[in-house]
Every structure is written in structure tokens, then in C-alpha cells.
Structure 1
Amino acid sequence: MLSSTSPSNYLLSWEALPTVPVYMEQLLAIVNQTIQPLGLPAVTKTMINSYVKQHFFSRPTGHRYTRNHIVAVLVVSILKVDFSLPVISKAILQIRDSRQIEWRYQQFREAFEQTLNNQPIVVVNNDAVTRAIQLAAQTVAAHLLTIRALDKLGE
């Protein structure tokens, strides 16, 4: 499960994501390298194609995926631990339609990492979407922390 017990960054910051579109193999490498230390199952090409068909995000242009695509795949891969795909889809579409993907990803990332690092969640803006993002991130992070704690009991 979680490979680190000291505070660290688990998810890529927006600025660390590629600024130019990437091909499927690169997208898979970025996502899987990010979620592997969390103990999450690898994402496959079939899964990404399914997400496109289910309209989690728009089709890539020229078989190339943008930052928005990478973020969507990362977030879906993490949220799948505790939430159904229809629930995730509803949230992803609302955020996509709001055109606030960078800001909302940063909110998710901060809440997720603060929870994994046993730090209090800092609430800057307490609108309903922010609260839902923080709760979802905390839910999955708490799940992963619970698995880590249970794994240590067996040692």
C-alpha cells in the first residue's frame, strides 16, 4: 500500500503535468507511476477508452491527451476505490463544465495529500463543490490509510 510514512506528495501538481499533449502510452506511464505507490490497480488502455465512451472526458485530439485528460484519469482511478462510476461521472462532468479543472484538481490534491499526511484540511472556500471534493478526497485517503494500518497489524 502507501509506500511512505513521512509527509510527502502523492499526486503531481498541475505545474508538474506535461504542458504538451501526450500519447496513450505516456498517459498510462504518468498515471500508473503516480497511483502505484498508493497500492491502486494499474490503469489500462481499455479503461481509458471506456472512460472516453462514458464521456468522463472528451475524445483526445489526434490520439493525444492533455493535462485535463491526465487529471481526469488520475482522479477517476483514485475515486474508484470508494465510489461508483456513475457518481464519479456526475462529479467529473460538473467540474469539466465549470471550466475550473485546474483549481478543482488542486483542491482535490491538497485534501487528498493532507489526509494521507495526517494534516488538517485547510478550507479556503467552503462552497458545495469544494466541500464535496474535499470529502471525496478524504474518504479515499482515509480508506488507504486504514488499509496501511491493517497491513501493519499483520506484520
Structure 2
Amino acid sequence: MAPTDLTRFKLIRWDELPTVPVYMDQLLQLVNSALAPLGLPAVTKTMVNSYVKQHFFSRPSGRRYTRNHVVAVLVVSILKVDFKLPTIGKAILAIRDSRQVAARYQTFCTAFEKTLRAEALQPATDTMAVAIQTAAQTVAYHLLTVQTLG
């Protein structure tokens, strides 16, 4: 991946995600195509089922996954670069319990993308936003470092 590729990376926004629940194959296609430019390992059915078993998010209803599920899989897949699953799980649960999934996901997207582009971030206004920004920056800097070192 050329250095400019990461600077142009853009995560799928909340409003761009399917509004109707999707099946596992659709979820995997959506997540894997979104994350492909980052060079991360592909997400598998086994991984998603493991996240459900670890209570990172609720079981799908009728084998169909909502936007919340898609966002959780996207974020977990990115954060796994630098954080252990128990830490990620605590963060995902705290965000879910806050009932601000869309807003928190936007915070993550903005912090991740701005860090990849070396743009300044607005200072976070609450503890959860600080944690989200810091985690997103950590992974973005890691990916930039790996890319630079080859």
C-alpha cells in the first residue's frame, strides 16, 4: 500500500450502512471490503460468532445483523491491531450501554481518519470520547508506522 493510500482511507459512515438487517455473508462482505485498504486480516464467520459468544454485542435476530453489529465488527477488527479482546470488549460494552453508538462511532471514524491524514483533532469533551480518540489514534499511528517501515 502506497503512503498516500492510508491518507485517503475513509470508514463507512453510520448513514451509509444498511438500514435493514443483513445476513452473515453480507456483513462479512461489507466489513472486509471496508477494511481491505488497511491490509488487516479478513473477518470470518468464526470471528463474528466468537464476538457474540464473548458478548461484544447481542445475538443477531433471525441470523440478521443490524448496523450496531456491523459497527462493532468494524471497530473490533481495527482495534485488534493493538488491543487485546478483553479491553476491546469493555469499550464496546460501554459504548453500547451509553446508547450513543452512532455518535461514538462517528468520533472513532473522525479520530482514526484525521490521524491517518496528520490532521488535528478537536479535544474530546468526555472520558469516553477521550478513550475512543486515543484508541483510534493508537491504531492509526501503528498502521502508519508499519507502512513507513515496509
TM-score above 0.5, yes or no: yes
User: TM-score, normalized by length of structure 1?
Assistant: 0.92
Displacement of 1:10? 2.2
Query: Which residue in 2 is equivalent to 1:137?
Result: 136
User: TM-score, normalized by length of structure 2?
Assistant: 0.95
Identity %: 64
Mean Cα displacement is larger for which, 8-17 or 33-42?
8-17
- Structure 2 contact 27–70 (Cα < 8 Å) conserved: yes
1:142-153 residue pairs with structure 2 within 5 A?
A: 142-151=141-150
Query: Which residue in 2 is equivalent to 1:128?
Result: 127
Query: Which residue in 2 is equivalent to 1:101?
Result: 101
1:14-29 residue pairs with structure 2 within 5 A?
A: 14-29=14-29
Task: Assess, with a 3 A threshold, how the Cα gap between structure 1 residues 42 and 6 changes in structure 2: closer, same or farther.
Answer: closer
Displacement of 1:122? 1.9
Query: Which residue in 2 is equivalent to 1:74?
Result: 74
- Tell me how far apart the structure 1 counterparts of residues 145 and 46 of structure 2 sit (CA, whole Å): 30
Structure 2: gaps of 5 or more residues: none
- Tell me how far apart the structure 2 counterparts of residues 13 and 121 of structure 1 sit (CA, whole Å): 18
Task: Assess, with a 3 A threshold, how the Cα gap between structure 1 residues 133 and 37 changes in structure 2: closer, same or farther.
Answer: same
Structure 1: gaps of 5 or more residues: none
Task: Assess, with a 3 A threshold, how the Cα gap between structure 1 residues 6 and 90 changes in structure 2: closer, same or farther.
Answer: closer
Mean Cα displacement is larger for which, 141-150 or 1-10?
1-10
- Structure 2 contact 14–106 (Cα < 8 Å) conserved: yes
Name the SS of the counterpart of 2:59 in structure 1.
coil
- Tell me how far apart the structure 1 counterparts of residues 3 and 99 of structure 2 sit (CA, whole Å): 34
Post-superposition CA distance 1:17-72 (Å, at most 9, x none): 11110000000000000111101000000000000000000000000000000000
- Tell me how far apart the structure 1 counterparts of residues 6 and 40 of structure 2 sit (CA, whole Å): 19
Displacement of 1:6? 7.2
Task: Assess, with a 3 A threshold, how the Cα gap between structure 1 residues 93 and 41 changes in structure 2: closer, same or farther.
Answer: same
- Structure 1 contact 2–144 (Cα < 8 Å) conserved: no
Query: Which residue in 1 is equivalent to 2:33?
Result: 33
AA in 1 matched with 2:43: V
- Tell me how far apart the structure 1 counterparts of residues 109 and 149 of structure 2 sit (CA, whole Å): 24
Moved over 3 A (4+): 1-7
Name the SS of the counterpart of 1:121 in structure 2.
coil
AA in 2 matched with 1:77: S
AA in 1 matched with 2:68: N
- Tell me how far apart the structure 1 counterparts of residues 7 and 82 of structure 2 sit (CA, whole Å): 23
- Tell me how far apart the structure 1 counterparts of residues 66 and 13 of structure 2 sit (CA, whole Å): 14
